[in-house]
Chains A and B, each alone.
Chain A
């Protein structure tokens, strides 16, 4: 339900064992070790080093040509917060595997390093040769939502012209990712239109979309969305996560508890 069953087994692995497994022969143990190092935030230099090497792995391939180990390594590197991984992650944005590119874009966002911006823009405009589309329908050419979110979080104002067309993308999920990025990249006077657009999307018919928008609003911390978030038809856990994003945004602006922060906590108390 809320927890991962792997947790129990995962705890039995030691850091040394995980690092050894990642260099071993068993592909199953390798891919699990990569996940494990990220899950338990093992940012030891040796771990970072072999995860970076794993981004170029050729041994672990799916029948469709995917790179499961590279995907997990990219995800783990995002969580470990070591910017040494940035050049290798930028390189991974050109990988043939859609999901490696998605994981790399998310990792670059988490590491908060603007060095990846030019390549992310190339990827957004689909200008990187050899990148294969997603294997599942609708077979997107690129992981647009992850790229848009990364550009927004990294403050890539130079990308605004390339982001704007995605506000009209055929997939609502991608429109919302674009709105989220535009909110983050726009001047305060005009940003609220993008926040309001996300608030409207909280009444979408599709639960998956409502969940995605809750995450978007939490990520940008758009305070006027608070009452609408509390009213959204979705799990309380997700609404609480979203409101936590709003609360934290308030806390970065003032050391004292602002009126907005107190109001958000009032809503959170009711959802516990």
Chain B
């Protein structure tokens, strides 16, 4: 296996034309080897959209192990690489990407990044979250998705907002009946009065899907490999985000976060 990996990586490094690079990245992505992560994340920054798409697909297929490398990409100054990394995070649905997706869905400059991040908010791996943190995180996602569905100026981002709301409604199931009905009200409004026919139609379809939703348990029940420290970081960032919003929205109550931070901190100490 290492020989195969080396050969695939060398093909990427030695590619001397845009087409060769594309093919080499596609081959490397298709191998789904964790050893390919550094090379695939580097490919997000090449000026070759085809190769970047292939690298995003490959990183999504590798999934969770690729998340730290993607988070690192976000800190770099390369805007294009950053936007591809957000798309990969959206596709993986790892909770460590949540804060990034919340910000990107509501405020990124590029509509394709907002679109992907919005979809990613709906398909987040909610079942990985500890129950108390999940509720806070889902509340943030709901708020972001409602904002996008109502206010984004691009039809395709609002369309993604509808898809995200549908996924979130299914994910919360009957644990949050108030959220579910809030989502249904929003979808109904869009089915009645959305400007774009495509978005209108998707809202209708979402309503139908929620009516027939059997509330089946989520298929992917494998436990999360995230460490307590990861949850701590997610919580702190959510707390910061809420703190910034609090200037505008006085109903946010940061005290809950503090109690939760203490509780999670204790869990960390026990490990």
Stretch touching chain B among A42-50, A75-83, A141-149, A232-240: A232-240
* Least CB separation from B204: chain A residue: A257
Stretch touching chain A among B70-78, B113-121, B224-232, B236-244: B113-121
Given that A235-B49, A240-B156, A272-B119 are known contacts, is A265 also in contact with B202, CB under 8 Å in the complex?
Answer: yes
A248 interface contact, C-beta 8 A: yes
Q: Are A237 and B204 in contact (CB under 8 A)?
A: no
Closest beta carbon of chain B to A101's beta carbon, Å: 31
CA distance A1 to B197 in the complex (A): 25
CA distance A244 to B115 in the complex (A): 15
* Least CB separation from A3: chain B residue: B109
CA distance A244 to B201 in the complex (A): 11
B-facing residues in A1-16 (Cβ within 8 Å):
1-3
CA distance A1 to B84 in the complex (A): 13
> Using Cβ atoms and an 8 Å threshold, which residues of chain A touch B197?
247-248, 251
> Using Cβ atoms and an 8 Å threshold, which residues of chain A touch B155?
244
- Our pick among B118, B156, B159, B205 for the contact of A237 (Cβ within 8 Å) is B156
> Using Cβ atoms and an 8 Å threshold, which residues of chain A touch B173?
none
Interface size class of B (residues with CB under 8 A): 20 to 34
CA distance A247 to B110 in the complex (A): 24
Q: Are B201 and A247 in contact (CB under 8 A)?
A: yes
* Least CB separation from B163: chain A residue: A269
* Number of residues of chain A lying within 8 A (CB) of chain B: 20
> Using Cβ atoms and an 8 Å threshold, which residues of chain A touch B204?
257
B175 interface contact, C-beta 8 A: no
A115 interface contact, C-beta 8 A: no
Q: Are A272 and B163 in contact (CB under 8 A)?
A: yes
Q: Are B198 and A244 in contact (CB under 8 A)?
A: yes
> Using Cβ atoms and an 8 Å threshold, which residues of chain B touch A3?
109-111
> Using Cβ atoms and an 8 Å threshold, which residues of chain B touch A268?
159, 198, 202
Given that A237-B156, A257-B208 are known contacts, is A272 also in contact with B116, CB under 8 Å in the complex?
Answer: yes
A261 interface contact, C-beta 8 A: yes
CA distance A236 to B90 in the complex (A): 15
Q: Are A272 and B159 in contact (CB under 8 A)?
A: yes
CA distance A3 to B113 in the complex (A): 12
Closest beta carbon of chain A to B104's beta carbon, Å: 13
- Our pick among B80, B115, B205 for the contact of A272 (Cβ within 8 Å) is B115
Q: Are B112 and A236 in contact (CB under 8 A)?
A: yes
B-facing residues in A204-261 (Cβ within 8 Å):
233, 235-237, 240-241, 244, 247-248, 251, 257, 261
- 0 or 1 for each of B198-222: is its CB under 8 Å from A? (1 = yes): 1001101100100000000000000
A-facing residues in B48-84 (Cβ within 8 Å):
49-50, 80, 83
CA distance A262 to B163 in the complex (A): 13
Q: Are A248 and B198 in contact (CB under 8 A)?
A: yes
- Our pick among B50, B80, B111, B201 for the contact of A233 (Cβ within 8 Å) is B50
* Least CB separation from B167: chain A residue: A269
Instruction: Sort A-B residue pairs by CB-CB distance and give the 4 closest, nearest first.
Output: A272-B119, A2-B111, A272-B160, A244-B198
Identify the B interface with A (CB < 8 A): 49-50, 80, 83, 109-112, 115-116, 118-119, 155-156, 159-160, 163, 197-198, 201-202, 204-205, 208
Instruction: Return 24 A-B CB contacts under 8 Å, by A number.
Output: A1-B110, A1-B112, A2-B110, A2-B111, A3-B109, A3-B110, A3-B111, A237-B115, A237-B156, A240-B156, A244-B155, A244-B198, A247-B197, A248-B197, A248-B198, A251-B197, A251-B198, A257-B204, A257-B205, A261-B201, A269-B119, A272-B115, A272-B118, A272-B160
Beyond A233-B50, A240-B156: 16 further Cβ-contacts under 8 Å? A1-B109, A1-B112, A2-B110, A2-B112, A237-B115, A244-B156, A247-B198, A251-B198, A265-B201, A265-B202, A269-B119, A272-B116, A272-B119, A272-B156, A272-B160, A272-B163
